[in-house]
Structure 1
């Protein structure tokens, strides 16, 4: 019987090629993909992808190298120095002008202000920052291999990895020095890294809370002020000099360091254009165009006193999670490429470099999570079915200062769960209570103070 090929085979091949900025040969590709495709079939698929202009090839025979289409490398050069490869992402030719401009000294760049026409001229589903070829490519590599499933299923399947990856990668783009292992210990065990600034731990935990909001409340979130104000409140918690600014649009002038761009300063106009951004984003039909639109316009407007780029990165995931596409974690994105792409928007209103970063980042994320989903166990169907019931049970036990005994859990659960699944849900709730800690309480919609009070009660009982 002939081997059945994966439906996402082309996407897997493209994602693997995109990993190699300098190109990859058939031998290495064949080794990596040996479990899902034969070398002969791989060669046929590569030829087909070249004809479709999804990839390019250079050289002949065993020396032939395949690369993501239209990408070039950026080199760091010093006066008279040999070229050395710089940590960057593959870029399109039009992005080179953006790089050349933003790498000039700040004194050589022309000061600019917010240009409302940049937003007003964008017409949803008529204007496109991402070409149809790019959108088609991202859909191919980002859709779930399991076919149509409820919104948020993909993100829930990889939630534990996503919490760590996105919290770490997004924080790192803000200069956070936590390693991925530090981040994992903080999120999974509540252990802050020694010798690190407390604000760094706070930033990561804020990301975790915001990601859980997006995944756990996928049916309620959207491109509306409620969602984005709450995203800001979660991401900025305990990080602003004035806590009253958390979850609110700014009403004063801000300066952005490292740029000649001066954001809008009139509160009424900030509010007007903030709502216009969300209105236009909500009208966009393609989820990837929605995601990138938010990444462009939220930082450009700077609607909040701080934390705008963090809001845009997590806000970009709203459409992906809602459409059950692979989420965007920004894993391995070079900070310099991201910063220069954002400067290109601020100072030139050019999206090309940020677009290249976005596309590369999504290719990286989709490849990572496709591999992860093949290695992790299938979600427990009972846990998935009674997710809300488990949240209610844990919440009632903790807020009610009850012992996590089988009898107490059963008493709470019996009004929420049918008898046929009651024993299983009770076991799951006891397991969750045993693993409850400061780093995961928000998953059960608990406040840290509620958890700490419950913990103190447990210690007093056992003392």
Structure 2
């Protein structure tokens, strides 16, 4: 008997029983003979993969079927087959992102859209999802990604890590998210645009606007990390910042759509009822806000915001930035979509739209997050440990820097001015504050003056003195 057969038998039995059951009771109901130790191993695997939920401890432990909001024998087979492939290994799979099982599934999209089954929005995916009981991301994956993404060892204010890597995050996420939309700016061009405001030659205006919109939206997430919530208000604001000056109808920026939309090269048709769209957006975000695990929360947001298509356009961009909120708030490595191939990304989404199966998208999410962690590991090493003193006095340093520039204080007088500032504002360790502020002033450039309360002209005049 194969492992796959055993896993399917367990899932079928749990579905038939329809309520939590002990190992002993489950063993007696199984239609196949299975030693208790084997049954426990198979249950452990199913729990790790998110197909079964275990409640209680030791002898009191019971097991029940987890609801993915997708009930079909085909889905169960895909999950159990994946478990078998993962357990045995698959020497024939050469794709860097997708397993052989996912590649087989994605081959479905090789059939032209007119030859595929027409699908509409399935609201039961949201309705049947129970936060912290239903899991799209298996425990083993969540644990692994959390270990990779952890960036601080102590409790710090939400957004602390994102602020430390702020400039790099602005460039990386703006570039990669825009690239996935077909933007032809290079990463170097993106950096020049964000840091210096210099547009690349030969690019259409919309590409420049797209990147600058990303910059503004990411800054919004970082600056408001402590207070931001997963609400319609937040997502509408993110959409507004991303879509401003890009939509034919300016009034559609930051507003749920009232028009029908279609998905190119897809057999999926999103909802068209404006009232249902608004209701379901609120419902998706209400459930997302209740999810305690940041990786489950992020993946849930990425998939459901893309699937709902709540706005006339710029939905996937909105999903990519919104799914970073859990990481920013929890001081985890952000998801910058580094090196994610455009074709693989859209195939994974289209497959979910048309089949509601998550496997390819989950594999891409896991791969993309690992790539981001590898990229920011270098940043973490170069930053060293996050300085709590620096974080504590960030606002004061910015205020002091702004005063230095607005008052056109010369180099020779900066130390004395900062010394008085420390005295007037009861700054602890004034020598450290002064040294930090002077170092920041020396490194300051036009692309980093936001938040100082100065204009570009003021900064240039101060630099020329």
TM-score (norm 2): 0.72
Give the gaps of 5 or more residues in structure 1: 1-51, 55-66, 76-84
Match of 1:451?
Answer: 455
Shift in alpha-carbon separation, 1:118–1:71, aligned structure 2, 3 A = farther
Question: For each residue in 1:259-313, what CA deviation from the matched residue of structure 2 results, as whole angstroms up to 9, or x when unmatched?
Answer: 2221111111111000000001011111100000001100111111211111111
Aligned pairs for 1:97-108 (under 5 A) are 97-108=104-115
Match of 2:283?
Answer: 276
Aligned pairs for 1:238-387 (under 5 A) are 238-376=245-383, 382-387=389-394
Match of 1:82?
Answer: none
* Deviation (angstroms), 1:99: 0.8
Answering whether residue 136 of structure 2 is matched by residue 129 of structure 1, we say yes
CA distance in 1, matches of 2:368, 2:172: 12
Match of 1:189?
Answer: 196
Give the gaps of 5 or more residues in structure 2: 1-44, 49-84
- Higher-Rg structure is 2
Match of 1:418?
Answer: 426
Match of 1:204?
Answer: 211
* Deviation (angstroms), 1:147: 4.8
Shift in alpha-carbon separation, 1:221–1:435, aligned structure 2, 3 A = same
CA distance in 2, matches of 1:242, 1:397: 43
Aligned pairs for 1:429-440 (under 5 A) are 439-440=447-448
Question: For each residue in 1:360-410, what CA deviation from the matched residue of structure 2 results, as whole angstroms up to 9, or x when unmatched?
Answer: 001111122123211335556554222223444566788xx6546667976
Shift in alpha-carbon separation, 1:445–1:128, aligned structure 2, 3 A = farther
Shift in alpha-carbon separation, 1:226–1:412, aligned structure 2, 3 A = farther
CA distance in 2, matches of 1:196, 1:271: 36
Count of aligned residue pairs for this structure pair: 381
SS in 1 for 2:265: coil
* Deviation (angstroms), 1:140: 1.9
Match of 1:158?
Answer: 165
Shift in alpha-carbon separation, 1:382–1:283, aligned structure 2, 3 A = closer
Contact (CA 8 Å) 1:404, 1:433: kept in 2 or not?
no
Aligned pairs for 1:70-81 (under 5 A) are none
Contact (CA 8 Å) 1:330, 1:361: kept in 2 or not?
yes
Match of 1:33?
Answer: none
TM-score (norm 1): 0.72
Q: 2:119 aligns with which of 112, 125, 142?
A: 112
Which structure shows the bigger proportion of residues in helix conformation? 2
CA distance in 1, matches of 2:101, 2:215: 36
Question: For each residue in 1:233-254, what CA deviation from the matched residue of structure 2 results, as whole angstroms up to 9, or x when unmatched?
Answer: 2212222223222222222222
Say what the alpha-carbon RMSD is for the aligned residues: 3.4
Contact (CA 8 Å) 2:152, 2:331: kept in 1 or not?
no
* Deviation (angstroms), 1:226: 2.3
Contact (CA 8 Å) 1:70, 1:93: kept in 2 or not?
no
CA distance in 1, matches of 2:157, 2:364: 29
Moved more, 142-151 or 209-218: 142-151
CA distance in 1, matches of 2:191, 2:420: 32
Answering whether residue 237 of structure 2 is matched by residue 230 of structure 1, we say yes
Q: 2:225 aligns with which of 206, 218, 240?
A: 218
CA distance in 2, matches of 1:277, 1:427: 47
Moved more, 117-126 or 416-425: 416-425
CA distance in 2, matches of 1:454, 1:343: 49
